[in-house]
Chains A and B, each alone.
Chain A
């Protein structure tokens, strides 16, 4: 019998296959340490405003990503979504925040304050995203839920989280099944009432099906004696935080304090 909490194949947020490579430094950390670290990091960066410090933060996040051995291409692809939004911010802020004019483009004045603000936001967003990918993205969803529960997060919130994850997958599969059924009958997206109508049916059906599935799952749970409280099979004390966790904890606390004092 494998140990409780032993990683089960392929369900981490970044969806890596369960390889046999030795765990990275980040993976050796207790899941709770990782949650706290991610939280601390985010809070420190959000409250900081000095551009140099934020750059250091981004550097730290990149180091974390290296330590977690994030797959470069896949991570970059995920970051693209964020970068698209960042581009808009970068393009608009210098022109919309009033201040000392440093340049003029097509008759619009760009302010120094606006540029600084744009740089701050970009640095913060990127650093936090990379750090969260490194610390939590490599964590299994179930393990993340359990870590939150063991850190004292409200039980209902944790269940909500775990169920959301579970339903997202079901929803996605249902969507793909419906799309497949449409394609199997030679449906091709094109502009025109037939297409819009079919797409409308697709999403309508998706909603109805999800609702019905939710009802059936609820029925199945009641059939097995569910009365509102979730039992947990895993022992509370799987393993305490190790020396590595204490070390990382102490170091990061010191770093954050320093950052807060200086920023």
Chain B
């Protein structure tokens, strides 16, 4: 079994007085879709942020794509290969228009403008968002923002998807479509979700995060 992302005894605290994660072990293997749940404020979002190096652990180590990753520089490559969908879509959309936002990742990866345009077009099309291309991001509805930020992540063609409550704030048809889309994607995923359907229809394995440790 080849592991894509592996956390070994990772300990993390924002504030030393209140540790969030205490010696957590977690492995994501190729082809897996792991549902991660647990009570609010237990550290699920933090766990995803650790995987792409947005916060660095105080102890333990993080292996990603066959190498140990320690510092900001190591994680630059990880972020290109593991796409993180933020819990709050508003944080993720910072470019003036939808097209620019979706193109931001591909352009950073060194794609040409023409290529980026093609990717934007194809990605939005596949999510059924073709009409939104030239819209100004902050005028989108909550659900539209969610889907556009997913498009922004998918446009980078990551090998791993880290989705933080992807079905939040979506109406029933949109949610069903998103589940369908996610079900068709080949990538390995970690999905933070309290949504029963997500767990039943998508997940190959469920992990529950509890105070300090973790159990399947």
Residues of A within 8 A of B (CB): 1-2, 6, 8-11, 141-142, 162-163, 166, 169-170, 173, 213, 216-217, 219-227, 231-233, 235
List, sorted by A's number, 26 A–B pairs whose CB atoms are closer than 8 Å: A1-B121, A1-B133, A2-B134, A8-B136, A9-B135, A10-B136, A141-B96, A142-B96, A142-B136, A162-B96, A213-B90, A217-B92, A219-B49, A219-B91, A220-B86, A221-B94, A223-B54, A223-B79, A223-B83, A224-B156, A225-B76, A225-B79, A226-B104, A231-B103, A231-B107, A231-B116
User: B76 to A227, Cβ gap below 8 A?
Assistant: yes
Cβ-defined partner of A231 (8 Å) among B79, B90, B108, B138: B108
Give, as a whole number of angstroms, the nearest-CB distance from A130 to chain B.
27
Q: Which chain B residues (130-163) contact chain A, with CB distance < 8 Å? A: 133-136, 138-139, 152-153, 156
Within the assembled complex, what's the spacing in Å between the Cα atoms of A221 and B153?
11
User: A227 to B136, Cβ gap below 8 A?
Assistant: no
Q: Which chain B residues (61-80) contact chain A, with CB distance < 8 Å? A: 76, 79-80
Q: Known contacts A166-B96, A225-B105: does B83 contact A217 (CB below 8 Å)?
A: no
Among all A-B residue pairs, the 7 with the closest Cβ atoms: A231-B107, A225-B108, A224-B105, A216-B91, A142-B96, A220-B92, A233-B103
Q: Residue of A at shortest CB range from B156?
A: A224
Q: Please count the residue pairs between chain A and chain B whose beta carbons lie under 8 angstroms apart in the complex.
A: 91
- Bitwise, B89-117 to A at CB < 8 A (1) or not (0) is 01110101101100111011100010011
User: B136 to A11, Cβ gap below 8 A?
Assistant: yes
Residues of B within 8 A of A141 (CB): 96
User: A216 to B88, Cβ gap below 8 A?
Assistant: yes
Residues of B within 8 A of A163 (CB): 94
Q: Which chain B residues (34-68) contact chain A, with CB distance < 8 Å? A: 49, 52, 54
Within the assembled complex, what's the spacing in Å between the Cα atoms of A2 and B131?
10
Give, as a whole number of angstroms, the nearest-CB distance from B215 to chain A.
29
Residues of A within 8 A of B49 (CB): 219
Give, as a whole number of angstroms, the nearest-CB distance from B106 to chain A.
9
Within the assembled complex, what's the spacing in Å between the Cα atoms of A225 and B133?
21
User: B138 to A170, Cβ gap below 8 A?
Assistant: yes
Residues of A within 8 A of B156 (CB): 224-225
Within the assembled complex, what's the spacing in Å between the Cα atoms of A220 and B86?
8
Cβ-defined partner of B91 (8 Å) among A162, A173, A220: A220
Cβ-defined partner of A216 (8 Å) among B80, B86, B96, B133: B86
Give, as a whole number of angstroms, the nearest-CB distance from A167 to chain B.
9
User: A224 to B113, Cβ gap below 8 A?
Assistant: no
Q: Residue of B at shortest CB range from A221?
A: B94
B198 at the interface (CB under 8 A from A): no
